Amino acid sequence: MTTPLFDVVAMTEHWARAHPDTVACRVERRRHTETLTYAQLDDLITGAATRLARAGVTPGTRAAVLVPPGRDLVAVVLALLRLRAVPVLIDPGLGARAVGACLAEAAPEAFVAVPRAHLARVLLGWARDSVRTTVTLATRSLWLARTRHPAQPAPDGDGPALIVFTSGSTGAPKGVPYRHRQLAGQTELLAHLGALEPGTTLYSTFPPFAVAAPSMGCQAIIPRRTPSRPERTDPAAMARSITAHHVRALFAAPALLDRLARHCLRHDRILDTVEVVLTAGAPLPFPVLRRARRCLPPHADVRSIYGSTECLLVSMADAAELTATAEATARGAGTCLGGVLPGNKVRVIRITDEAIPHWSDDLLVPPGTVGEITVAGPAVGDPYLARPYESALARIDDHGEPVHRMGDLGLLDEQGRLWFAGRKSERVRTAGGELYTDQVEPIVNALPGVRRSALVGVGPPGGRRPVLCVECEPGASRRETLERVRALAATDGAGGAGVLAHPCLPTDVRHASKIRRPLLARWAARKLGLEER
């Protein structure tokens, strides 16, 4: 192929020309699965691009896309990229208020959405001052046009490509602009995962992978739209789909992978076609890895990916590495995030909540010391949209090269592997020192009867009292489990934390692997009769 690596539209068109009858994606619906070949997908993209162009979408147009995962989402995004417009991707599951705030920041000129999103835009005044073009996805008629829109020039590497909003799991959602050259960096990093290879069938619960997979010659299985909360996803339906479509590569967040593994173990089911599992969104706990491997064939690998919306792919740890480091994790070392992917420059700096305008090597901490993880490289997105204060806190200028502060704490070991210690904003600052969530919780989670735990702090800043909130495994003795946790909490490693049982730890509405610790801290403060500040 001679097409630019970052031009996903040109890459998709290449496969449509070379293998028109090969399946590009399968879209699961309530009663059947819709199959689209590359030729059919190209027709959908062409029809969408024609309709969008007629509606007034031109190169550079910012177009908000509020479309559920499925073939329409794939067609719209690729059609906008073909037109050299700029898709603005916002998760509708954020809620009406957050979606409205995102649209206000992005100021889109076009609004491409399903009818209920258009109704919300009118009733709630979303982007009232910026939107001048609207396109409704109500029927298949959007894609019936077959007039091929004139070919667009190859994208400028420094030109805007898309805007994607963060999940909001660690604060208000923030818009991250990407240029075409930054997408090129992400595409190159995808190749290092060893899963998105031509001919691979990929089942992904992460919509961007469904868009990227066909451009890389993979067949994407797009699951039927599921409820917002991953814990309500039906793992039985997921297992049936993986088996029916002979899925080779699976992408799922740790919480969803855990639900799938528990279901398969209960029903003595092996997902024998799966060769590689990719998981991201949170570090992969070793107990989840252990369960997942029991329902996979012996040759299958599980790979934990570390990254963020601002720099999607940073490092990767495979099952062998996670297994080899599990004992250290259980002793409080944190969770291994694996080796840094080629092209990324990862450095760990001293912990501070203040802005750092300019890079200095004096910021660095010695190997093995916990600090804040930073990333530089060709795949790092631009500063946040319309958020200069947050951008200043998240960026360091290294002689013209942007360095992104991940907001995560961790360390680099002597082998160059990256380890995760917890979110910087969630560290517990006690009178005797700081405690980091991922250096305490894995010790607790390894105890019999514990399903999950969360370390939070209550009381005045700088003198927080650490509290361990524990969710027990179904069927486990709550009394015996809490006794084990209290015995552990009395040790130095847990800082003498208090222990509270919680029926079900609250998690982020879109990322069940991410515990809502601020909400949990307020709950713990009320239970203990302490004021949370």
pLDDT in tens, 165-224: 987 766 788 999 999 888 878 877 877 787 778 889 999 887 777 778 888 888 999 887
DSSP code, position 123: H
Per-residue pLDDT, 531: 61
CATH H-level, domain 427-528: superfamily: ANL, C-terminal domain (3.30.300.30)
CATH 3.40.50.12780 fits 226-423, yes or no: yes
Contacts of 110 by beta carbon, 8 Å cutoff, 6+ apart? 52, 55, 56, 57, 61, 62, 63, 64, 85, 131, 132, 133, 134, 135
Residues 107-115, mean pLDDT to the nearest whole number: 94
Q: How far apart are CA 275 and CA 281, in angstroms?
A: 21
57: region left, alpha or beta (phi > 0 left; psi from -120 to 50 alpha): beta
List the chain domain ranges.
8-138+158-190, 226-423, 427-528
Give pTM, 2 decimals.
0.90
SS3 assignment, position 425: helix
Amino acid at position 68, single letter:
P
DSSP code, position 533: -
Give the count of alpha carbons within 13 A of 121, CB side only: 28
Same fold, 8-138+158-190 and 226-423: yes
Q: Supply the CATH classification number for the domain 8-138+158-190.
A: 3.40.50.980
Q: At how many degrees (to 10) do helices 478-489 and 437-445 cross? A: 140
pLDDT above 70: residue 156? no
Residues 227-245, mean pLDDT to the nearest whole number: 77
Per-residue pLDDT, 181: 85
> Which residue do the tokens 């806190």 mark?
393
Per-residue pLDDT, 141: 46
Angle at the Cα of 276 (from 271 to 278), degrees rounded to 5? 110
Per-residue pLDDT, 163: 93
